Structure 1
Amino acid sequence: MAKAFASQGDMTEKKTSFVEIGDGLWAFTAEGDPNSGVIIGDESVMVIEAQATPRLAEKVIAEIRKVTDKPISHLVLTHYHAVRVLGASAYGAPEIIMSDAARAMVVERGQEDWDSEFQRFPRLFEGHESIPGLTYPTTTFSDSMTVYLGNRRVDIMHLGRAHTAGDAVVWVPDAEVMFTGDIVEYHSACYCGDGHFADWGETLENIASFDPVSIAPGRGDALIGRAKVAAALESTLDFVESTYRPAARVAARGGSLKEAWDAVRAECDPKFSDYAIYEHCLPFNVARAYDEARGIDTPRIWTAQRDIEMWEALQG
């Protein structure tokens, strides 16, 4: 019997923070657990990322209510993963925005992802019994759209594939602040199990081209100041490339998934082993890197059963 996933034993509650990263812009962070973002406009509030359950979403809402009583009118979901979207019902009935590609992934693999993530990381689904079902957007976009929260302009864009094929970022031009979802992480492993390694670097360059003064990343501390933003972009790229390169070398010579696992560990452990959720992400990252290097462009759907089979192969 293979040992349990690292995440199954991670039951320590994380300390949350609510940090202002620009005028009326806030990052809800949780020591490497999924972050959320908040944009306060003249008339209403936009939230980025719903959290995994309504109970966890209530923690975000409680922080919002400490700084504003304006209604929550919009909820942006940067991608389809269960830990980001299943808490949406806690926000009432806002306009829920996703990219077209992200919505298609909810349809194609949303339930499988929910089952898989719940099995892998039960602590992130506190109050899971209150989830009413899959979350679907009420509004979608292909390349970009603009929302006005009163006079405050918010641009929601797809800048390229990275963490998933449908990643969205949220840009607030008056403050030069961006909410990147899991395209950018800070001192946290990138989850690449549904990722696109070959595209990720260009997408990071597209983010950098906005020259944001601050970023709310998908996981890890808020990035306040251009120096910290640059450091996070660099470390995220290093993580992605350090995962893909050794797996691709193994795949090119016809090596096995287990050989790819060993090669990636040899390169990544010395640099990233102290990152949040590193051990949780690593097997899924290696499996996806190995697939992409063998020409599989669309990530294969993770199911609870596939998770177990992959993990047993790596342990064997």
Structure 2
Amino acid sequence: MKYWTIPVALFATAAAANENIPDQYPQSLLYSAPVEFVPGVFSAIGATAPSTYDNAGHNNNLSFVITGEGVVVVNGGGSYGLAAALHDEIRARTDEPVVLVIDENGQGHAMLGNSYWAEQGVKIIAHSDAAHEFEQTGHRQLESAQRNLQDRAEGTFVQGPTETFDDEYIVDLGDYRIEARYLGPAHSPGDVVVWLPNQELVISGDMAFHERMLPIFEHTYTADWLDTWDNEFEALNATYVIPGHGHPTNMEQVRRYTKGYLEYLRGKIGEHLDNGGDLAEAYYVDQSPYAHLDTFEELAKRNAGRVYEQMEFE
């Protein structure tokens, strides 16, 4: 088993990773500069807040691996400009070309930056369900980005992946085996994780959260997410986790704030249903143990309502 010292800077600034800080890297469209987490693996940590003009839509993590035989990028980014800004940071660290982009899901902040990478001739891969989701919603997501980001969305167009997969997509480059894996239903259609077995590190995408409250969408089935977590995600036995949002961490933290939160909320809604409670009251079940998480105010009530609607028919 390999162990590396995690840079203190990653955690020294963790308290500053909150939704009230609009931008931590003013000289770039990126919200923060990429940091090397373990040797060769970098991540530019996005804002733990909704997409805004100030954070340029960089509200998720944009990661890359310098393999010695080319760079693999995880997440296309939320706009043409964000992808270009990430590429500038990559070029500042290596002469190796970007050879592959992996989109972690079909959301705009994962795929809208494909518009830049496609122009560079880079192969872009995603799960087939994520590609379908983006095909159906990409123009709507682009319009939303243009409203929020204004001139910072300039050049962005709808570009899906150039190749899709259903179960896994594996590449071996240098000392890195990079496995894009679909583990099962989770946060959104076609969610994938990127597993680096030699580094015992998973770039989890939206499978795992810890610094901000996870959102539950209309198509997020929480019982399925928990099944995927228990049966597949835990089985990776990862030592290190770069989540979809928030600083790199470990399994204990993401377990507490993803699996733990889902189980807690389902338990509260289950009690509410057993007591004959209705949807209007469900929005106000107690979620105070998670009130310190970013985006709590935006998401807690909505999450409760959606879990009620699911569990009502389970």
Do the two structures share a fold, i.e. TM-score over 0.5? yes
Match of residue 175 from structure 1: 199
Match of residue 108 from structure 1: 136
2:296 to 267, 278, 283: 278
Against the structure 1 CA distance between its residues 245 and 17, is the aligned structure 2 distance closer, same or farther, given a 3 Å change threshold? farther
Q: Secondary structure at the match of 2:189?
A: coil
| Residue 268 of structure 2 is aligned to residue 246 of structure 1 | yes
Match of residue 69 from structure 1: 95
Against the structure 1 CA distance between its residues 236 and 126, is the aligned structure 2 distance closer, same or farther, given a 3 Å change threshold? farther
Aligned pairs for 1:125-136 within 5 A: 127-133=152-158, 135-136=159-160
Match of residue 45 from structure 2: 29
- How big is the shift at 1:118? 6.9
Distance 1:280 1:53 in 2: 23
- How big is the shift at 1:201? 2.1
Match of residue 121 from structure 2: 93
Against the structure 1 CA distance between its residues 51 and 281, is the aligned structure 2 distance closer, same or farther, given a 3 Å change threshold? farther
Distance 2:307 2:142 in 1: 22
Over the matched positions of the two proteins, sequence identity in percent amounts to: 24
- The letter of the residue matching 1:156 is A
1:190 to 214, 220, 223: 214
| Residue 36 of structure 2 is aligned to residue 20 of structure 1 | yes
- How big is the shift at 1:58? 2.9
- How big is the shift at 1:95? 1.0
Could you tell me whether the CA contact under 8 Å between 2:284 and 2:301 is conserved in 1? Answer: no
1:218 to 244, 250, 255: 244
Aligned CA-pair RMSD: 2.6
- The letter of the residue matching 2:225 is W
Could you tell me whether the CA contact under 8 Å between 1:39 and 1:45 is conserved in 2? Answer: yes
Q: TM-score, normalised by structure 1?
A: 0.78
CA offsets, 1:29-56, max 9 Å, x none? 1342311111112221111112211222
Please identify, of 204-213 and 75-84, the stretch whose mean Cα deviation from structure 2 is larger.
Answer: 204-213
Against the structure 1 CA distance between its residues 259 and 53, is the aligned structure 2 distance closer, same or farther, given a 3 Å change threshold? same
Q: Secondary structure at the match of 1:209?
A: helix
- In structure 2, list runs of 5 or more residues that go unmatched: 1-18, 26-31, 49-58
Which protein is richer in helix relative to its size? 1
Against the structure 1 CA distance between its residues 254 and 69, is the aligned structure 2 distance closer, same or farther, given a 3 Å change threshold? farther
Q: Secondary structure at the match of 2:139?
A: helix
Distance 1:251 1:52 in 2: 39
Distance 1:35 1:166 in 2: 17
Q: Secondary structure at the match of 1:148?
A: strand
Distance 1:117 1:257 in 2: 32
Aligned pairs for 1:111-126 within 5 A: 111-115=139-143, 122=148
- The letter of the residue matching 1:201 is L
Could you tell me whether the CA contact under 8 Å between 1:252 and 1:293 is conserved in 2? Answer: no
- How big is the shift at 1:230? 1.9
